[in-house]
Amino acid sequence: MAPSLHETRHDGDDVEPQSRQHVLRVDEMRSQGNTVVSMSHWRKPDPLAPLFETAHGLVLLPEGWDSYGAPKISLFYAERALDLVSALMRRNLPLPALVPTTARGVQLEWHTRGIDLEITVESLSSVGVYFEDHRTGETYEEEQLEPASFVKLDQLIGKLAARRG
């Protein structure tokens, strides 16, 4: 199971440094009404390392990060997106871009191999999905895909992973 943003794990001293798995630890502290998120100690699964680093940067964005007054990115939505991509990743699937949304959420984006796939996390109970295969013309869009329907999402990820060039 992939680590979550607020989860903390500690290594044993007897583990060789090169064999240690990495887990991101984010401490949330309240100071004068501001939330401070720090990466004081982190380890993370190597294939997902760039996503954890990006997620950390997103939750640090200040209010108004888009110059139009967008709210801060939700730590819970960033965590949900990382959990989701951890569950969906498979061999031959490139890492998605992780981008902020103006609704406190994050979006996982793949624009490669003739396929556009976007998964929007702006809720803890559902995700938005947009899929377009430019080679076959297949499209799929769902604004609130419930976890019970994630079989469809897994199928779309499978199409992207199987696609060559």
Q: Give the tens place of pLDDT for each residue, 67-95.
A: 999 999 999 999 999 999 999 999 889 99
CA distances from 104 to 66, 110, 111, 134 (A): 11, 20, 22, 30
Task: Indicate the residue type of 159.
Answer: K
32 or 13: whose pLDDT is higher?
Answer: 32
pLDDT at 43: 54
Q: Is residue 12 part of a domain?
A: no
Q: Is residue 6 part of a domain?
A: no
Q: Indicate the burial class of 150 (C-beta count within 10 angstroms; 0-12, 13-18, 19 or more).
A: middle
Using pLDDT thresholds of 50, 70 and 90, give the confidence band for residue 62.
Answer: very high
Domain that holds residue 97: 17-162
What percentage of the chain reaches a pLDDT higher than 90?
Answer: 59
CA distances from 54 to 51, 82, 97, 107 (A): 5, 10, 9, 12
Number of H helices, E strands in the chain: 3, 7
Judged against a pLDDT cut of 80, whether residue 140 lies above it is answered with yes
pLDDT at 20: 31
Average pLDDT in the chain: 79
Q: Is residue 5 part of a domain?
A: no
Q: Is residue 136 part of a domain?
A: yes
What percentage of the chain reaches a pLDDT higher than 70?
Answer: 72
Q: Structurally, how many domains does the chain consist of?
A: 1
Judged against a pLDDT cut of 50, whether residue 121 lies above it is answered with yes
Q: Is residue 9 part of a domain?
A: no
SS3 81: helix
Judged against a pLDDT cut of 60, whether residue 16 lies above it is answered with no
